[in-house]
């Protein structure tokens, strides 16, 4: 579960700050860039997990993994979302306009997702934790997105 000491908004603000430090790109140029990218992904993962927890859906931030189709050397934090008998895994890729869902028991690096659902980014291309959480609630918990 997400930490109760920081709010989803605080996690997301930190994610955006580190995404800006990473040059707003997933292309790894050096170790500092790679670290900023992982911290941005972590903040976004924690923000999404916190929002899902507020909605009563179990969400656990897991380790960083490579995602097929993304630049070599990049790793993204993942969130396991469990609601009833449904369990999915979601990598949190900053500015990715899609929620990519994998089976919740997937181990290791991530290949092709089972499901891909579009998410509308903001005018600055950032895809908010709220937009991601709403899409997940619609797909996993069957709630209407508003």
Residue-level pLDDT at 113: 94
The span from the CA of 38 to the CA of 74, in Å, is: 8
In the chain, which ranges are continuous DSSP H helix?
8-21, 31-54, 129-136
pLDDT at 1: 47
pLDDT digits (tens, 9 = 90+) for 90-134: 999 998 999 999 999 999 999 999 999 999 998 888 999 999 999
Please compute the mean of the pLDDT values over residues 62-86 and round it to a whole number: 89
Give the tens place of pLDDT for each residue, 20-53. Answer: 888 888 888 888 888 888 999 999 999 999 999 9
Identify the band that residue 64 occupies on the pLDDT scale cut at 50, 70 and 90: very high
What is the Cα–Cα distance from 41 to 64, expressed in whole angstroms? 9
Q: Give 4's pLDDT tier (boundaries 50, 70, 90).
A: low
Residue 143 has pLDDT above 50, yes or no: no
CA dihedral 69, 70, 71, 75 (to 10 degrees): -130
Q: pLDDT class for 55, splitting at 50, 70, 90? A: very high
Distance CA 79, CA 62 (A): 6
14, pLDDT greater than 90: yes
């Amino acid at each position: 579960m997400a930490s109760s000491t920081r709010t989803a908004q605080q996690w997301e603000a930190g994610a955006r700050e580190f995404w800006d430090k990473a040059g707003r790109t997933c292309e790894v140029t050096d170790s500092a860039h790679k670290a900023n990218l992982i911290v941005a992904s972590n903040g976004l993962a924690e923000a999404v997990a916190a929002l899902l927890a507020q909605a009563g859906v179990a969400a656990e931030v897991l380790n960083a993994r490579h995602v097929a189709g993304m630049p070599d050397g990049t790793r993204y934090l993942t969130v396991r979302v469990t609601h009833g008998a449904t369990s999915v895994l979601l990598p949190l890729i900053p500015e990715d306009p899609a929620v990519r869902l994998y089976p919740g028991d997937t181990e290791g690096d991530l290949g092709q997702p089972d499901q891909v659902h579009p998410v509308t980014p903001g005018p600055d291309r950032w895809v908010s934790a709220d937009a991601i959480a709403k899409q997940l609630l619609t797909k996993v918990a069957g709630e209407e997105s508003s």
